[in-house]
Structures are given as C-alpha cells and as structure tokens.
Amino acid sequence: MELNERKQRLLMALVERHIRDGQPVGSKTLAQGGGLAVSPATIRNIMAELEDLGLLISPHTSAGRVPTERGYRLYVDTLLASSAMRSPDHQQLRDELRQLLAPDQSPQELVSQASRTLAELTRMAGLVAAPRRQVSTLRQVEFLPLSGQRVLVILVVNRSEVQNRIIHTAREYDESELRQAANYINYTYGGCDLDAICDGLLSTMAADRAQMDALMRTTLDVAGQALRQSGDEESDYVVSGESNLLDSAEADSIDKLRDLFNAFNHKRDILHLLERSMKADGVQIFIGRESGYQPFEEYSLVSAPYRLENGPVGVLAVVGPTRMDYEKVIPTVDITARILSAALNQL
C-alpha cells in the first residue's frame, strides 16, 4: 500500500506512540508530541483516512486510534527499509552477544543461552529451535564379526568423520559374508547420504525376500541397523522468558495468553511456524493472524534462521504482543542469529 509522505509520517508516529504507551492515540497527542507540524484538525482528517484504509481502528468508544494488523505491517515494512535498521549503535549489541554466545560452549549450551539472551534483551519470550541433524554422507563402511550375533560397524561419513557402533543381527555372520555386504554398500551407495541409503534399503525390503540372493539378505539385515541415524525424532526448541509476557499482559488478554502458553507446551504449531521461518532469507515477521494460528491473534513472532556452512540448521525467534518495539526486536533477532551461526561454525 502506497501512502503519501504526510500519511506515512503520521502512521509511523502513531504506531510508535502506541508501542510506547499502550493506549489509543488521539489527534491532540500527535499534534503536541508527534513532530508533524500540522493542526489537530488536519491530523484528525488524516487519521480518518487511515482508518478508512484499514490501517487504524477506534477501540470501544475511545476518541483515539490504535494500529490494525495492516497498520503494523505497513509500519514494519517501512521500518525495515529505513536507515534505523542499519544503525552503527548495534555494534554494542554485537559485542555483548559475542561474549554471551562464545564458541567455548556446546551446541546445546549455545541454543539455551541464545534463548535466554533473546528473552532478557527484549523482555519477551525467546525461542530457539534446536539445530537439525546434519546430513551424513557415506564414504565407507566396514563390518567386523563379534561373538553372540553382534557386528562391529565402522562408518566413515562426510569428509573424515569415523563412527563405531555395535549392532545385534538376526544370526551370526562370518567375515566373508560381512565383507561382501560392505563391498556392495560401498560400491552402490558410496557418496549418498545415509537417509537415502536407508530409504533404498526399505524399498528393497518391500520386494519378495524369497527372490533375494544371500548377499542381499545379509546386506539388509546388517545395513538396516548399521546405517540408521540417531536423532530422527522431531526436532525440539528451547523457550525462555514466558513470564515476561505475563508481566506485559493486560487483564482482558489473559485468556489469549493462556492459549499461547498452551501452544508453547504442545509445540507442533510453533515448530511448524519456525519451519516456515527456516526458509526465509533473513528476518521474517508474523503479525497477529498472519501466522495462521489462533493463539497468535494478538501476538507477533520475529524470527531468523541460523546457519552452518552448508545452509540453515535452525531458527530463533522472539514472541511478544503485536505492539512490541519492532525497532529494537528486529535487529536483536537478526544479530543474535548471525552471532549464533558464527559460534556454531567455530565448533
């Protein structure tokens, strides 16, 4: 939506005043403190036009206006295009985050610290989705027989990562059988990711086992267990600062807040929303019903993916009321994602 400069300045001033005070904003307030240099009557006329455009609304019988979701969206889009988002003042924030998210911590510690940091810096709820398990590419596999129907598996994945594991098989196999199975896997699947190999083996298992030769039966029995990766369960996230939302909630929004807390606990919808953010290039913002989830009707989510060298592996976000301080929250989320990415890439 295109607004002329006067309407845009008034909308920006009204949204910023509402974010600061949490109250409907009237024409007299804007005339006195909005820096607009126009009369209250002119401001009233512009506010009426913005209301007709669906950008403002008059709550209850109040003479003042508050932004709608569309009003917040236009405000945020204008803010993102402004020089405020590239302020040199953010250097202090970067320095603080580098100290808190130092690469001398484990990935799990970094994720938890990032969640706490987002909550403390924004006084809202901070969410960080745990890093996705990275794709492991098979370089070589070797099977060695042990006693009691056990087999030692030596896996070389990615560039040079070696993994050893012991599996239990349906029967005992001699060294020759296991060598043939390893040779088959290395020849057929070398350079493939382990998930694709397991999918291929499952497809083969769907065929008639009676038609398989001994080599294939051995391969399926041994490799089905040997190449299965841990961590296939649904990824989780860490949330901090829920009490911040309770502190800022108004009496008539407690039920909405309870719905949001239930969403935090059930996780499925939150994870789906974070998954959508994973595909974004930089910061993504869902305002109110833009998320598509009822518990977020009165809340916004500001998110950004964090990355390893080969692409995004997780998402971090801040959740707060729609009248959150976007000018502060957006760069905080963006810079935290960058610093967390840098720390994880140094591990």
What is residue 301's three-state secondary structure? strand
269 in Cβ contact with 293 (< 8 Å): yes
How many CA atoms lie less than 13 Å away from 276 in the CB half-sphere? Answer: 14
**For residue 276, what pLDDT is reported?**
86
75 touches 326 (CB < 8 A):
yes
- Taking alpha carbons only, the member of 323, 262, 240 closest to residue 20 is 323
Cβ neighbours of residue 74 under 8 Å, at least 6 residues apart? 1, 3, 11, 55
Going by their DSSP bridges, the two strands 237-240 and 284-287 should be labelled as: unpaired
Q: How far apart are CA 196 and CA 311, in angstroms?
A: 19
Residue 169 DSSP class:
-
Give yes or no for a contact between 67 and 47, defined as CB atoms under 8 angstroms apart.
no
Q: Name the token pair of 18.
A: 């509402």
pLDDT (tens digit per residue) in 48-79: 999 999 999 998 766 789 999 999 999 999 98
Average pLDDT, the chain: 84
Asked if the model's pLDDT at residue 206 lies above 60, the reply is no
pLDDT of residue 233: 42
Question: Is the model's pLDDT at 207 over the cut of 70?
Answer: no
How many angstroms separate the CA atoms of 218 and 196, rounded?
19
pLDDT tens digits along 241-260? 999 998 877 766 788 888 89
Q: Is the pTM of this model over 0.75?
A: no
Query: Looking at residue 134, what is its pLDDT?
Result: 61
For residue 278, the number of C-alpha atoms closer than 13 Å in the C-beta half-sphere is 18
The closest alpha carbon to 315, from 279, 290, 286, belongs to 279
Give 231's pLDDT tier (boundaries 50, 70, 90).
very low
- Tens digits of residue pLDDT in 164-179: 888 888 888 899 989 9
Residue 112 has pLDDT above 90, yes or no: yes
The string of pLDDT tens digits covering residues 256-284 is 888 898 888 877 788 888 888 887 888 99
Cα dihedral sign, 319-320-322-323: negative
Separation between Cα atoms, residue 287 and residue 260, nearest integer Å: 14
pLDDT band at 124 (very low <50, low <70, confident <90, very high): very high
**What mean pLDDT do residues 17-29 have?**
91
